[in-house]
Amino acid sequence: MGGIWDGGLDSILIVEEIGSQKAKVIYSWGDDVTFGIKKGYRRYIAKVTPGPPAQIEFGGGGYAKLSFEMGKDLNSIRGFWESASGGGYARVVMKRIAK
């Protein structure tokens, strides 16, 4: 799934494996000159909350916390980003980019 956060940051979420309680995901992001962000990626073990709608959550502990909720169409997800300090928030709708 890919999309642009409302702050303008390109990102992609890849779910490598998903179970009833945990998922292996890769989260990647692009450059953002405004905020001094350099492109990169991280692997996470995400917490899964079965739906409907199904949700995953990862990060925190000194890193931004991200959560995503499956859309009703099963081809999109809604995401919420919270900064590590708790002072910044952003939203995104990501769409399926490959099957």
Q: Which domains does the chain have, with CATH numbers?
A: 2-95 (2.40.128)
Q: Where are the beta strands (DSSP E) in 50-99?
A: 55-59, 65-70, 76-82, 89-95
- DSSP for 64-77? -EEEEEE-TTSSEE
**pLDDT for the residue 99:** 61
**pLDDT for the residue 8:** 87
Which one, of 65, 68, 61, lies nearest residue 88 by Cα?
A: 65
pLDDT in tens, 47-98: 999 988 999 999 988 888 999 999 998 899 999 999 988 888 999 999 998 7
Which pTM does this prediction carry?
0.89
The phi and psi torsions of 73 (rounded to 5 degrees) equal -80, -5
CA distance 75 to 84: 29
